[in-house]
Amino acid sequence: MAEPPPCREDPQYRNAELGYSPSSELERLVRYVSHGTPSPLIRWHYHDDYEIHLVVATSGKMFVGDYIGTFEPGNLVMTGPKLPHNWISTNAPPEGVALRDHCIVFDRSPIERASALISELGEVLPLLDRCAQGIEFFGMSECAAEYFARIRASKDLARLSVFLDFLSVLGQWKEFRLLSNPWVDTADDPASMTQIDSIVGYMNEHYSDALTMPRVAKHFDISRSHFSRIFHRRTGNTFSSFLTQLRISRACQLLVKSQDPVSAICYDVGFNNVANFNRRFRDVKGMTPTAFRRKFADSR
């Protein structure tokens, strides 16, 4: 099923009914939410807040700005304002999962204003700047889980203290990668963002088909020139590059989760030539599909 249209999430709707912790004056800076799957919180969306996501169950596809990749339990990602994001579980059981994610939500402006008076707070600003592209952290899922538990169990000044300590640890952590190209502010044109999300949802559903830009443009009744212009502006990618990343992302999941031959996976994800699949996979992942499968197996 295609993803629902994206929305600009309004903080006033982030209430306890959706899983967020009740508000108090200080908790407006540091909010906490946990949810399972399915959940109304799982959707392609963006907002003015920063978020720190920790996945604890299921695996699937991760979309952050123009980045398409995979996730599994222990996935720790930090996103900045107006950066669209979503995690789609692909192996959840039919009855769903009660707990999939923990998420900390916060606003930068109080931290930035306070840093003018408390210079130590300025140490976390470079971390927040990097969040414009989304950050994935490696090797700290256990440490992060402890901070999430402490933040959830505390409130008011105690919660703020633990949260700032967590930001300090994240800011000093060396094992991370930036995920997305800088994202264009979508606030000035929500209509085109909605249109692009429908297109991305369609591609996510039909990536294994013989998709072409003219075919998809025709499906959405958009001229080729307009389609090319808005797609690149809103995703940072050409149609063909985005489709390749989507297919390679699915191929990575199949290489890890199945024993299917590389040649079969090639055709399953929409490539019609094994040599081209190997070349495209190497361009995206820096190694061949066979090497990727072997590397993952050796790391377990």
Q: What is the pLDDT of residues 212-232, one digit of tens each?
A: 999 999 999 999 888 888 887
177-192 in b/e form (b: 16+ CB < 10 A) is: ebbbeebbebeeeeeb
11-178 sits in which CATH class? mainly beta
CATH fold of the domain at 186-299: Arc Repressor Mutant, subunit A (1.10.10)
Q: What is the mean pLDDT of residues 58-70?
A: 86
**How long a stretch of residues is the chain?**
300
Name residues whose C-beta falls within 8 Å of residue 235's C-beta, 6 or more positions apart in sequence: 66, 196, 200, 242
86-107 in b/e form (b: 16+ CB < 10 A) is: bbbbeebeeeebeebbbbbbbb
Question: Which residue, among 128, 134, 126, 244, has the nearest Cα to 181 in the 3D structure?
Answer: 134
Question: Which residue, among 206, 280, 261, 204, has the nearest Cα to 235 in the 3D structure?
Answer: 204
- Domain ranges (residues) in the chain: 11-178, 186-299
Q: Write the burial class of residue 66 (CB in 10 Å: 0-12 exposed, 13-18 middle, 19+ buried).
A: buried
Question: In the structure encoding, which two tokens stand for residue 149, read together?
Answer: 């538990």
192, pLDDT greater than 70 = no
pTM > 0.85: no
Bridge partners, 135 (sequence order): 78, 178
How confident is the model at residue 135, as a pLDDT?
Answer: 96
